[in-house]
A and B are shown apart, each in its own frame.
Chain A
Amino acid sequence: MTMTPTMTTVEEPATKAPRRGGAIRYGRAVPFFVVPFGLLFILFYLLPIGYAIVQSLYTVERTGTFGPAREVFGGLEQYRRVFADGPFWASIGRVLLFGVVQVPVMLGLALLLALLLDSGLVKGRRFFRLAFFVPYAVPGVIAAIMWGFLYSPNLSPLKPVTSAVDLLSADFVLWAMANVVTWVYVGYNMLIIYSSLLAIPAEVYEAARLDGAGPARIAWSIKIPLVLPAIVLTTVFSIIGTLQLLAEPQVFRSFSSAVSSTYTPNLTVYSTSSVPNFNLAAAFSVVLALTTFVLSFAFLKFTSRSAR
C-alpha cells in the first residue's frame, strides 16, 4: 500500500492518464476484494462466535413449574457447569486418544501414497490419484452409514467376520469410526502432500542422484523433509477435525450400543442444545473451540521449535 503513491509520482510524467487511473482503480480494488470476504467472515464467523460467547454468559430464571424463562446475566456460571461435567471431559479424553492413534496412521498412509504416486513406480498415476481421493467426495454421513452396514453383525456382506467380532461393541467402536474417518480423509491429505511434492524443483533430485542416492534415500532425506510443512498443515487440520468429531458418532449412535449421547464433545453440545439448554451448549462450544485452538497452537509451536 505505501508503495503505491511513490510509484505513481515517479512514473506520472511518462504514462500520464492510464497510470493515474490505474492507481485509483487499484485503490478501489482493495475493498472490492476484501469486502465480500470480510462481510462473510463477520457474518458467518465472528458474529456467531460472538453470539455464542454472549449466550454462554446467561442463565435462565423462572418461577413456578411452568413459569416462562427469563435470561439473566450469570457470569461464568455455565462455565462452572462445563468444568464440573465429567462426561464432557471424558469425551475430550476419548477423542484425544482417537487422535493420537488415528491421525498418525492416516497421515502416514497419506504420505506413503503420495510418495508412491510421486516415485514413478506406479503406472496409471492419474487414475490412482483420483481413486484415492474419491472417498473424500462421499459425504461423511453417507460414509458412516455405509460402513455401519459393513460392520453390522447380521447384515454385513462380511458376516463371518462381523458376527464373530462385534465391531460395534464398546471395545471396537472407536476404532471402527477411526477407520471410517481414515477412509474418508486419507486421499484428501494425500493430495495436499502430493501437490507439495510436485513443487520440489527437479534439480534437487538431480543433485541427489549424482551423489548416488537411490529412490528410498531420496524419499527419506529429501522429499519428506521438504514436504514437512504440508504434513504439519494436515496435522493441524486433523487435530481440529478430531476434536470436532460429530457426523460419524452421531450416525453410529443409532446402531451401536456403545455410542452414548455424550460420546464426543460435539455430541454433548448437540444433546445439550436439544434439551434445549442453549446457554450451556454455547459454553461447551466455547470451551471446545478454545481447547482446539490451544492444541493446534501448541502443536505448531512444538513443530516450529523442533524444526529450529
Chain B
Amino acid sequence: MRKRLSAVLISALALSACGSGGDDSSDGAAAASCAPSSGPVTITYTTWIPGIENVVKAWNDKNPTIQVKVQTGPNGNGGTYQNFFNQLKAGNPPDLGHIEYDALPSFRVQDGLLDVASCDIVAQAKDQFIPWTWNQVSFGDEKSAWGIPQDSGPMALFYRADLFEKNGIAIPKTWDEYAAAAEKVKAAGGYITNFSQSDINQFAGFTWQAGGRWFANDGQQWTVNLTDDKTKKVADYWQSLISKKLVSTVPPWTTEWDNAYNSSSAWTWVSAVWGANSIMSGAPRTAGKWRVAPMPQWSAGENVAGNWGGSATAIFKNSKHPYEAAKFALWLNTSEEALALLNKEAQLYPATTAGTTYSYLANPVGFYGDQKIYEVFAEAATKVTPDFTWGPTMTSTYANASDGFKAAVSGKGTLSDALAATQKSTVETLKSQAIPVKE
C-alpha cells in the first residue's frame, strides 16, 4: 500500500511540476522539432539488453558531444514497461526506451511515442531494414514509424543432438513428427520440451507461424480474434501434448526452468534466435550438445517460420533531444560495429538487411558444437510472414492468457478455453480504455 501510494504521489508531484499534465503532450511541438540541439547533450536510454554498457561505451568514447546514459531494468513485461507507463504519466520518461514490437501499439495508444519518421535521418534509413521489421514499427502506415527496429526473433528448433542420436530418434521436421518424437522422448525418460505457461509470446510465435492473426486495425476500430481456426489448431496441438504429459510445464524464466534444461530433462526448445543466449546461460552443463534446426512445419515440405520477440528503440514523446536520440538509435541498430557488439553480448539478431550478411554471423558457435547457428536463423528470418499485428493492450492480454494457460497446465480447462476467456477480457479492456473495438 505504502509503496503504491508513494508511486502515485511521485506522479502527482511530477504532474503538478509540469503544469497542465497530460494535455500539453498533444502533437505539434515535439514532432516538428527533430532538429539538432546546440552544444553537448546527454540523452537517457533504458533497456534490459545484457552487456549494453559495453555497446554504449563504444558510442560514448567516439561522441563526446552526445553522451548516452544507460539505465538497465527487468525485461519489458517483467517491470520496465510498467516503469515506462508510470514515467509517462509522471511526465519524465527517458529519451530512448527499449520496447518490443508487441508492446509498441500499447505505448502509441497511450500517446507516449514520438513519430520517428519525422526525423529525416530515420526516414532515410527506412530501406536499410528488413521489410517486416519496419512493418512492425510503422503498423503498415508508410508515413510514420514509432521506433527504430533493433532486432528480430526468427524461431527455430534447438535440440539436444546427443540425446536424439543416442535414442535413435529422428529430428522432427513437422509438428506431427514432433508429437511422435515426444512419445519416444518420454519413453526415454525425458520431456521433448517445456511448454511456456506464463510467457505467452512463445505461443504467439507458434500462432504467427501457423497463420493465426490476433488483431486487426482498420483505422476506425480494432478487431480481436484470439479464437480463429489457426490459433485453435495450435492450441489443440499443445493441449494434447500437455494432457498426455509429454511436455513439462515448469514456469519459464525461473531456476526450475534452467534446471529442466541443465539436467537434460527437456530435450528441445522451439525458440527465437536470442534463445541461444538463454540456453547458454541457463544450462551450462549441456555445452557442446545442442544444435539448431528449422522450426517444425504444419505440412511437410513447407518452410514457414514464426517470430518470438524482437525489439525497437523508441523515442519517447517530449524528448528534448530527439535528433541526437535518433542518431544514437540509428548507430545502435544499423552500424556494423554496434550490431556486432550486440550479437556478441546478447546474441541479438539484426533487423537490417545488411546486418544479416555481416561476417560475425557466419562464425561457428562453440556451445552449439561449432555449428554456424545463425545461418539457420538467417534462413528463418526470410520465412517470417510480415503482417502480424499486435493489439494496443498486450500487457493485459498476456496477463489474462497467462492466467488461463496456468490453469490449463494445472488441469483446469484447456488452452482454447483460456484463449476464449482472453478474447472476452481483451475486448473488455479495450472498451474500458475507450479504444473502439468490434464486438
**A residues at B contact (CB < 8 Å):** 43-45, 47-49, 51-52, 55, 59-62, 64-66, 68-69, 71, 81, 149, 152-155, 169-170, 244, 254-262, 266, 269-271, 273-278, 280, 282, 285, 289
Contact B256 A274 (CB under 8 A): no
Among A66, A81, A155, residue most surrounded by chain B Cβ atoms (within 10 Å): A66
Task: Indicate whether A269 sits within 8 Å of B4 (C-beta atoms), given known contacts A254-B198, A254-B251.
Answer: yes
Among A81, A154, A273, A275, residue most surrounded by chain B Cβ atoms (within 10 Å): A275
Nearest CB in chain A: distance from B218 CB, A: 8
Contact A60 B434 (CB under 8 A): yes
Contact A278 B220 (CB under 8 A): no
Which residues of the partner chain A approach B259 to less than 8 Å between Cβ atoms? 154-155
The CA of A45 and the CA of B9, in the complex, are separated in Å by 9
Identify A275's interface contact among B4, B396, B402, B410, CB under 8 A.
Answer: B396
Which residues of the partner chain B approach A260 to less than 8 Å between Cβ atoms? 402-403, 406-407
Give how many A-B residue pairs fall within 8 Å (CB-CB). 133
Identify A64's interface contact among B1, B219, B263, CB under 8 A.
Answer: B219
Nearest CB in chain B: distance from A172 CB, A: 12
Nearest CB in chain B: distance from A65 CB, A: 5
Closest partner residue, chain B, to A62 (CB atom): B434
Closest partner residue, chain A, to B221 (CB atom): A65
Identify B436's interface contact among A65, A280, A282, A289, CB under 8 A.
Answer: A65
Closest partner residue, chain B, to A78 (CB atom): B432
Nearest CB in chain A: distance from B110 CB, A: 7
Judge if B38 is at the interface, Cβ distance under 8 Å. no
| Chain-A contact segment, one of B42-50, B81-89, B172-180, B353-361 | B81-89
Task: Indicate whether A257 sits within 8 Å of B8 (C-beta atoms), given known contacts A62-B435, A65-B392, A65-B435.
Answer: no
Nearest CB in chain A: distance from B215 CB, A: 10
Closest partner residue, chain A, to B146 (CB atom): A66
The CA of A81 and the CA of B431, in the complex, are separated in Å by 11
Contact B432 A81 (CB under 8 A): yes
Identify A155's interface contact among B105, B109, B253, B256, CB under 8 A.
Answer: B256
Among A152, A255, A259, residue most surrounded by chain B Cβ atoms (within 10 Å): A255
Contact A65 B217 (CB under 8 A): yes
Which residues of the partner chain A approach B1 to less than 8 Å between Cβ atoms? 244, 266, 289
Contact B220 A274 (CB under 8 A): no
Task: Indicate whether A65 sits within 8 Å of B222 (C-beta atoms), given known contacts A154-B256, A257-B251.
Answer: yes
B1-23 toward A: CB 8 Å interface, digit per residue (1/0)? 10011101101100000000010
Contact B82 A274 (CB under 8 A): yes
**B residues at A contact (CB < 8 Å):** 1, 4-6, 8-9, 11-12, 22, 25-26, 81-82, 85-86, 89, 105, 108-111, 197-198, 217-222, 249-251, 253-256, 259-260, 263, 392-393, 395-396, 399-400, 402-403, 406-407, 409-410, 412, 429, 432-436
Which residues of the partner chain B approach A278 to less than 8 Å between Cβ atoms? 89
Contact B434 A257 (CB under 8 A): no
Task: Indicate whether A59 sits within 8 Å of B434 (C-beta atoms), given known contacts A44-B9, A69-B110.
Answer: yes
Nearest CB in chain B: distance from A58 CB, A: 11
Task: Indicate whether A258 sits within 8 Å of B4 (C-beta atoms), given known contacts A69-B434, A81-B432.
Answer: no
CB-defined A-B contacts under 8 Å, sample of 13: A43-B9, A49-B5, A51-B12, A52-B8, A61-B434, A65-B435, A65-B436, A69-B434, A260-B407, A274-B85, A275-B393, A276-B86, A276-B89
Contact A280 B432 (CB under 8 A): yes
Which residues of the partner chain B approach A65 to less than 8 Å between Cβ atoms? 109, 217-222, 392, 435-436
Nearest CB in chain A: distance from B395 CB, A: 5
The CA of A282 and the CA of B8, in the complex, are separated in Å by 9
Contact B396 A257 (CB under 8 A): no
Which residues of the partner chain B approach A81 to less than 8 Å between Cβ atoms? 432
